[in-house]
């Protein structure tokens, strides 16, 4: 991967590694648990962990977007 801003922001070809208990609402499976260190998850303060559900992917602009002077993350 080239070390350019555009290449670093272009995640379209990357697939998240989903936790086995990251299931869409209304489905059954493993109970909620702390995601393993090698799965895709966002850790917020106060022990809130979010993990995407399958099928998931990355959708965002590969170029910086800053409407109104605020940049999206």
pLDDT of residue 8: 80
Blockwise average pLDDT, block size 10, the chain, 73 residues: 80 79 78 81 78 72 82 77
3-class SS string, 2-68: CCCHHHHHCCCCCCCCCCCCCCCCCCCCCCCCCCCCCCCCEEECCCEEECCCCCCCCCCCCCCCCHH
């Amino acid at each position: 991967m080239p070390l350019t801003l555009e290449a670093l922001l272009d995640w379209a070809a990357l697939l998240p590694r989903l936790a086995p208990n990251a299931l869409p609402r209304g489905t059954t499976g493993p109970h909620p648990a702390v995601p393993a260190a090698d799965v895709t998850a966002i850790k917020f303060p106060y022990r809130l962990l979010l993990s995407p559900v399958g099928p998931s992917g990355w959708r965002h602009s590969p170029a910086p977007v800053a409407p109104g002077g605020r940049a999206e993350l």
